[in-house]
Chains A and B, each alone.
Chain A
Amino acid sequence: KQEVTQIPAALSVPEGENLVLNCSFTDSAIYNLQWFRQDPGKGLTSLLLIQSSQREQTSGRLNASLDKSSGRSTLYIAASQPGDSATYLCAVRYGRGGTASKLTFGTGTRLQVTL
């Protein structure tokens, strides 16, 4: 079964701290991996997308890495701010060759950045 796991489920850090969110997946035959942010009761915002051939992507204070051999991705947030407080979800699209499956979402990490 193709699963996506995110640990920890919740994280609280003081403002200014650098932090890492983890995502693990069970099948290395992935097409790509996306990191999303979701505010309470709202839709998802795509933050970064890493293709299977890539090792990392960067956008501003965010850096996402991908290690297919170990089945892991990390989202690094530099100099965290209270506005970063949200739930962060990773989603994996599995597939081989020309076919790909639907996105499989992890259960998310609820991040709170305190003043």
Chain B
Amino acid sequence: DTEVTQTPKHLVMGMTNKKSLKCEQHMGHRAMYWYKQKAKKPPELMFVYSYEKLSINESVPSRFSPECPNSSLLNLHLHALQPEDSALYLCASSRDYLRIRTATNEKLFFGSGTQLSVL
């Protein structure tokens, strides 16, 4: 199984809603990532979890709250979002993050993303 599964595929929410994006992998990877991608732009890193601990927060606003309940799951909780937060949210995983000396550890596997629209 070399898949990263993201749900839902599409999400429309109002600015007062609370919603969550979910990501799951069963490859035994210990690093998981959230990226945000606007149309025709490259992905931008938001968060990195390594061994279920938050390793990197790229100065993301607190209305985005990540959670890693176990080594297979990664959530992104959304609250009081703005219309400019509308984007494709991508989850990714890799075998490791801190020890990246080998190509095996480094290769990123991406999910298909959640297309988020904030009204």
Asked if A and B bind, the verdict is: yes
Chain A positions within 8 Å of B, measured between CB atoms, are 31-32, 34, 36, 41-46, 49, 51, 89, 91, 93, 100, 102-103, 105-108
A31 touches B100 (CB 8 A): yes
* B21 at interface by CB-CB < 8 Å: no
B42 touches A108 (CB 8 A): yes
Smallest CB gap from A45: residue in B: B110
Contacting residue for B103 out of A32, A45, A107, A108, CB 8 A: A32
B113 touches A41 (CB 8 A): yes
B111 touches A89 (CB 8 A): no
Residues of B within 8 A of A46 (CB): 107-110
Residues of B within 8 A of A93 (CB): 100, 106
Q: How far is the CB of A25 from chain B (nearest CB, A)?
A: 13
Report Cα–Cα, A34/B90, bound state, in Å.
17
Query: How extensive is the interface on chain B, given as a class?
Result: 20 to 34
Chain B positions within 8 Å of A, measured between CB atoms, are 4, 6, 41-43, 45, 48, 56, 58, 88, 90, 92, 100, 103, 106-113, 115
Chain A contact residues: helix, strand, loop or mixed: strand
A43 touches B106 (CB 8 A): no
Q: How far is the CB of B18 from chain A (nearest CB, A)?
A: 25
Smallest CB gap from B108: residue in A: A46
Counting from the closest, the 6 A-B pairs by CB-CB distance are: A105-B42, A43-B110, A44-B110, A43-B112, A49-B103, A43-B113
